[in-house]
Amino acid sequence: MSGRILLVEDDDRLAHYVGKGLAEANFTVDRAGNGRDGLFLATDSDFDVVILDRMLPGMDGLSVLKAFRAAGIATPVLMLSALGQTDDRVEGLTAGADDYLGKPFAFAELLARVQALMRRGTNGGAQRLSVLRCADLELDRLSRQVRRGKRKIPMQPREFRLLEYLMLHEGEVITRTMLLEAVWDYHFDPGTNVIDVHISRLRRKIDDDEAQPLLHTVRGAGYRLSADD
């Protein structure tokens, strides 16, 4: 896999380390050492992924990120920060980040996350869509309503988040770990059947009495939302 990465990081040593590793993985890396330069580069050139430090001199990472999105830039953003508490991650994701990685981190994990964002790139526009569709299933992210054909489906907040995540990754196999992190914000296995219970409820709501099932269990791997069997 190859692509063009914008790295916005003021720590020269860390930037050199990350840039060298990405270059060895066949990525082309442009680097900005502060927020204003990063914003200028992001709006002036096309990148596949932006790696953005949260704590930057002059213009902090959150301000840069909000300016990215206000300018209509949909490029996936991986935010880096030493601020790793749940509230910090939520603030970064709410501001428009596609992923959030706390410092210190292993380069292998950063590379895996960059590659995941690259694979999602062709689907990146879906992250900004207000209405998601799979066959005749429709989820409106603004009104928070779900319909299957002409049938309106009532959703609890957690069920809505679960379905939204599956629809954003339509056709992909989604693991239990991915669901625990994205929907429940767990970064550990709680050792419960919470996912099974919610998947079962969601399947009953969207697939019962329908000729075409959409929510599939991939044995030993996870789940997939798709119009294909």
Domain extents in the chain = 3-125, 129-225
128-150 in b/e form (b: 16+ CB < 10 A) is eeeebebeebbbeeeeeebebee
- Give domain 3-125's CATH number out of 3.40.50.2300, 3.30.10.20, 2.60.40.420, 3.40.980.10: 3.40.50.2300
The pLDDT confidence band at residue 74, using thresholds 50, 70 and 90, is: confident
Taking only the tens place, the pLDDT of each residue in 163-205 is 998 988 888 888 988 888 888 877 777 778 889 999 999 999 9
Asked, colleague to colleague, whether 3-125 and 129-225 share their fold, the answer is no
Q: Are 4 and 27 in contact (CB under 8 A)?
A: yes
Q: Are 65 and 77 in contact (CB under 8 A)?
A: yes
Arithmetic mean of pLDDT, 9-29: 93
Q: What is the layout of strands, in order, in the sheet containing 151-153?
A: 131-134, 137-140, 145-148, 151-153
Taking only the tens place, the pLDDT of each residue in 84-131 is 667 777 788 888 888 888 888 889 889 988 988 887 654 555 555 578
Question: Can you give the pLDDT at residue 122?
Answer: 47
Average pLDDT score over the chain: 86
pTM over 0.75: no
**CATH fold for domain 129-225:** Arc Repressor Mutant, subunit A (1.10.10)
